[in-house]
Amino acid sequence: MKREPKIGEKIYVPTSLYVYRGEDDFIGGITTISEIDYDKNLPKDHHNYIMIGIEGRPGCMYNWKILLKDQKKLKKEFGEQIAHPDPDLREEFNQPDADWHQ
């Protein structure tokens, strides 16, 4: 299904959990599109041409094509659950200088 996103549209997003940035953990569910970015340097059919932002998660953008493709799966997983921040503030999960490639 090819279509454009709309500000105010409801959409499902996945959960995002971080090993060294637990303060940024976010639980998936249904949310509202608050921002749309069209990359003027990419052709319209490029996979990354459209990115969207959502309410409650400023500064984070999602790939529109991936979200659109996964809506049935995400709806089945989350049902009516509202997407929301769920920060893990424990020190061991917030290590800004961690180098996990060692």
Distance between alpha carbon 41 and the CA centroid of its chain, in Å? 22
Question: Which residues, at least 6 apart from 102, have a Cβ–Cβ distance to it below 8 Å?
Answer: none
pLDDT in tens, 40-67: 999 999 999 999 999 999 999 999 999 9
Q: What is the structure's pLDDT at 96?
A: 78
Measured CA to CA, the distance from residue 51 to residue 66 in angstroms comes to: 10
Measured CA to CA, the distance from residue 31 to residue 11 in angstroms comes to: 6
Tokens found for residue 55: 């309410």
First to last CA, the chain: 43
**Longest pairwise C-alpha distance within the chain:** 43
Q: What is the structure's pLDDT at 1?
A: 44
pLDDT in tens, 4-17: 999 999 999 999 99
